[in-house]
Amino acid sequence: METQGGLVPDPAEVTEVAHATAAVLVGAGRSSEDPEVTTRLVALVDELGLSTLAELWADRPARSLPGALWRLYALHEWVQRSPEEASADYTAGVRFADVNHVVAGVAEPPGPQEIRSLADSILRGVFEGDLAVALERAGAFCRVVSSGRADRAHTTDVQDAEAASTQTRRASSLLSTAEDLEACARLWRADELL
């Protein structure tokens, strides 16, 4: 089948490529003891662009290896791009999610640089540490940020109801992401994260 002068990829092939690239990436990172390899994998978005990773993995189920990687890289990219916003949301959420704050493992006080370092540490953990722990830390981070966004939306509601509504939707989305990442951690431990 052709469209606009090119071939339309077979959906089964797209799925196969998504899962294969995710498995190869994680496998290569986890089998290498070279810190430069890990550094390059953490900075993959800088090299390929977030849109390329989105084409590969964004449409895969959230509870799959490519789905988890997409969420981790997208989260990492958001923190790198907007560390002040991430820090403000995180700081606002700590009092509502103190256990998740401990699991996430951010340095105190959780300022923009500490949040950036956490995002790097979580992504490094995919390749250098226990992947399930990295997923759990990312899930915990999302839970704290979600709580903070919801709280900030509540205080914003008085001045700007539309902005508050947007923040509330984003908080809900992050809570779903947290649940998916935590489920992926359980699947990884059961050797069922494909």
**pTM score of the predicted model:** 0.92
> Which percentage of the chain shows pLDDT scores above 70?
96
Query: What is the pLDDT confidence band of residue 160, given thresholds at 50, 70 and 90?
Result: confident
pLDDT score, position 4: 52
Based on the number of CB atoms within 10 Å of its own CB, is 115 exposed (0-12), middle (13-18) or buried (19 or more)? buried
pLDDT digits (tens, 9 = 90+) for 103-138: 999 999 999 999 999 999 999 999 999 999 999 999
Distance, in Å, from the CA atom of 146 to the CA atom of 1, rounded to the nearest integer, reads 43
Q: What CA–CA distances, in Å, run from 123 to 35, 36, 42? A: 13, 14, 6
